[in-house]
Amino acid sequence: MQDLSFITEWIDSSLRALMPGWLTVTVECLLIGVGLLLVYALLALFYIYYERKVCAAFQCRLGPNRVGPWGLLQSFADMFKMLIKEIIHLNHIDRFLFALAPYLVIIASMLAFAVLPWGNGIQIINFNIGIFFLIAVSSIGVLGILLAGWSSNNKYTLIGSLRSGAQMVSYELSIGLSVITMVCLAGTMSVEGIVAEQQDLWFIFKGHIPAIIAFVIYMIAGTAETNRGPFDLPEAESELTAGYHTEYSGMHFGFFYLAEYLNLFIVSGVAALLFFGGWMPLHIPGWEAFNYIMDYIPSVVWFVGKAIVLSFIIIWFKWTFPRLRIDQLLALEWKYLLPINLVNLVLMVLIIVFNWHF
Amino acid sequence: MITSAIFGIENNGLLAITALLTGVALVGLALWIAKLISPSSFNPQKGEAYECGIPTRGESMSQFKVGYYLFAILFLMFDVETVFLFPWAVRMRELGVNGLLSIAVFFGILVLGLVYAWRKGALEWK
């Protein structure tokens, strides 16, 4: 595995030669911020394009193909259009909360984004309780959505945000429990540690049956967490126009749009981290030559590639299944996923205690 | 082989604050640019609630279905459970049989809670 930290170390040492220590740290924090901002925006734009192309393929269409080669610049054009649209000032809203909601949604996804293991040596926030921190910050997003729906003072948005809140809060349990299942196997909560534990074999192979069950549950709950696919009833356009962001216009709406696609990336990135080794290349014990070749693919490519492949599954859900009703949605979580998850946790504990994992 | 601490910054709180400020900056910058280049005109009809442009009948910030509240309470119960399970999950191997037994009791009580809610019909959407 190439260690990419030589880049940051080189920047660090050359900056330290130029300026005092505190200024170096400030400049480095600025660099991290700019980097995060760029990657965040570019990934969101890529995901909008990706989703539209995949959707078009499922529906036997071509998808965006006019702006730029293969329509690659379409989402840039869309974002620019959103920037030049008027932000309408409404006269019946709670102004402060209305303005605060997009901040909360974006901050939640940005913090979760910074925890992800981007590559060998480029992990930004590296708490020893990393995965717990990730769950904690991603639940701030629910607050943003609830505030958006409430402060808009519109019945559609209120119903949309309440549905969304009930849904995200319920499915967070499933996410938390499948994360606990994998933390049991890893024996650590730090993102770096979880990746390092998977050096010989990814967790989905190491933990076999319980890991696979946890993965399936995680993917279902992750789809619901991002308000997508068959679980998109918070923004069921046929009954609620657009759900919690009905009253938002222009770039204000754009933030919810960006955060939705980024959450898709974060959910699949966490799935890649917990089950498919984060940035760790595919290693098979005993196959030395194979492992050696796999190490030559850069770790960033591994991580982003895994996340993109996993988000293909989530997009696939969306264009395959019809939308659920709210009672079906809550019954699926509380009567099926939660009990299965609890049993699965016990199963995982048994497998670790009797050392049946690989 | 596996190295950590980007730029050698060991203070993760600082990095978390950086990410938070980046989020604020993203929203602030984009809104500022949008304000600069987007048109804006005032019209009393434009500011009304979406759909038809008719003033909404009644108050929108009103009471809502109690079912959502019920699920929020259930969530609270299980979320606290997950918070208690996390530290045990990390030290599971070291805690051994004692840890397993005590967490089994804790787990059993929570499953009883779920069974109770289920039997009471709290999981039905009415």
The predicted model gives A21-48 an average pLDDT of 86
ipTM of the complex: 0.84
Distance CA A270, CA A117 (A): 9
A95-104, A105-114, A157-166: which range is least confident on average? A157-166
pLDDT greater than 60 at residue B75: yes
- Summarize chain B as % helix, strand, coil (round to 5): 65, 0, 35
Chain A 123-142, CB below 8 Å of chain B: which residues? 123-127, 132-133
Nearest to A166 by CA among B65, B107, B112: B65
Paired tokens of A20: 């005092």
| Residue A350 pLDDT | 86
Question: Which amino acid is located at B84 in the chain?
Answer: F
Please report whether residue B75 resides in a domain. Answer: yes
Residue B48 pLDDT grade (very low, low, confident, very high; cuts 50, 70, 90): confident
Please report whether residue B126 resides in a domain. Answer: no
Quick check: A55 and A63 in contact, CB under 8 A?
A: yes
pLDDT greater than 60 at residue A238: yes
Nearest to A249 by CA among A88, A75, A90: A88
pLDDT digits (tens, 9 = 90+) for B6-44: 776 777 788 888 888 888 988 888 889 888 888 878 777
pLDDT greater than 50 at residue A111: yes
Which one of A133, A166, A180 has the shortest CB-CB distance to B71? A166
Contact pairs from chain A to chain B, CB under 8 Å: 233
The predicted model gives A286-306 an average pLDDT of 85
Q: Is B67 exposed, middle or buried (0-12, 13-18, 19+ CB in 10 A)?
A: middle
- Residue A258: which residues within 8 A CB-CB, separation 6 or more? A40, A41, A44, A106
Residue B99 pLDDT grade (very low, low, confident, very high; cuts 50, 70, 90): confident
Q: Which residues of A touch B86 (CB under 8 A)?
A: 132, 180, 183, 189
Residue B55 burial (CB count, 10 A): 8
pLDDT greater than 80 at residue A323: yes
What mean pLDDT value characterizes chain A? 85
pLDDT greater than 80 at residue A65: yes
Nearest to A34 by CA among A52, A11, A18, A14: A11
Distance CA A253, CA A145 (A): 12
Using the beta-carbon criterion (under 8 Å), do B44 and A91 form an inter-chain contact?
yes
Judge whether A331 is closer than 8 Å to chain B, CB to CB. yes
| Residue B2 pLDDT | 47
pLDDT greater than 50 at residue B1: no
Using the beta-carbon criterion (under 8 Å), do A33 and B21 form an inter-chain contact?
yes
Give pTM, 2 decimals. Answer: 0.89
Which one of B16, B68, B100 has the shortest CB-CB distance to A125? B16
Quick check: A97 and A144 in contact, CB under 8 A?
A: no
Tokens 């929570």, located at residue = B110
- Residue A315: which residues within 8 A CB-CB, separation 6 or more? A50, A51, A54, A55, A229, A264
The predicted model gives A2-27 an average pLDDT of 79
A221-225, B52-56, B66-70, B112-116: which range is least confident on average? B52-56
**How distant is the Cα of B105 from the closest Cα of chain A, in angstroms?**
13
Pick from A154, A158, A182 the residue to mutate for testing the B interface (most B CBs within 10 Å): A154
Angle at A301 between CA A296 and CA A302, to 5 degrees: 80
Q: Is A167 exposed, middle or buried (0-12, 13-18, 19+ CB in 10 A)?
A: buried
Provide the domain count of chain B.
Answer: 1
Domain ranges of chain A: 88-353
Residue B52 pLDDT grade (very low, low, confident, very high; cuts 50, 70, 90): low
CATH of residue B79: 1.20.58.1610
**How distant is the Cα of B44 from the closest Cα of chain A, in angstroms?**
8
Per the structure, the complete domain to which residue B63 belongs is given by: 9-120
pLDDT greater than 60 at residue A28: yes
